[in-house]
Amino acid sequence: MDGNIAQMKPQDILLLLKIVGLNSESWKQLPIAVSLGMSQSEVSEAVKRSKYAGLLDSKGKSVMRQALMEFLEYGIKYVFPQKPGPIVRGVPTAHSAPPLNDTIVSNEAYVWPYAKGSVRGQSILPLYASAPSAALRDPKLHELLAMVDALRVGRSRERALALEELKRRILDGK
């Protein structure tokens, strides 16, 4: 296999979380691409990489949920690290977005930089450039991405709460 295909890219995680949120194996690449703000070829390549990594089944339709959870728990913060940046306008993420903002009270907001965003806070670069707009169109995806960001940038309490909720949603399908 080509070396480029073997390397996961951030948009692969965006795709996998979208599929988890759909909770269906009958998804099609073009509608997913449109909903994520990606090209169909980007989705096709993400599917190939995710199959190669063992995060999608051999048909490329079903997320290998245990493997994805292991990657998120142990790898995401090392493979796609992020540190809070300057104060910008954007879309809430990590502990500043649902569902974690119901439990965690903080004076510092984390946001994905986005001109149409409604909150000012420390910038967190999203996994993929189109993630903020895709998240605004899909609340379930927004929550999953925000919890993944809590794993990437959160303190131990935020990480523990995000991990518990991600396990419930990804492994239990709730």
Q: For position 120, what pLDDT does the model report?
A: 96
**pLDDT computed for residue 1 by the predictor:** 46
The pTM score is 0.94
- In the prediction, which pLDDT does 90 show? 97
* pLDDT, tens digit (0-9, with 9 covering 90-100), for 139-153: 999 999 999 999 999
Q: pLDDT category, 5, cuts 50, 70, 90?
A: low
Tens-place pLDDT, residues 47-91: 999 999 999 999 999 999 999 999 999 999 999 999 999 999 999
DSSP string, the chain: --HHHHS--HHHHHHHHHHHHHT-S---HHHHHHHHT--HHHHHHHHHHHHHTTSB-TTS-SB-HHHHHHHHHHTHHHHS-----SEEEEEE-GGGSTTGGGT---SS-EEEE-TT--EEEEE---SSTTHHHHHHH-HHHHHHHHHHHHHHH--HHHHHHHHHHHHHHHTS--
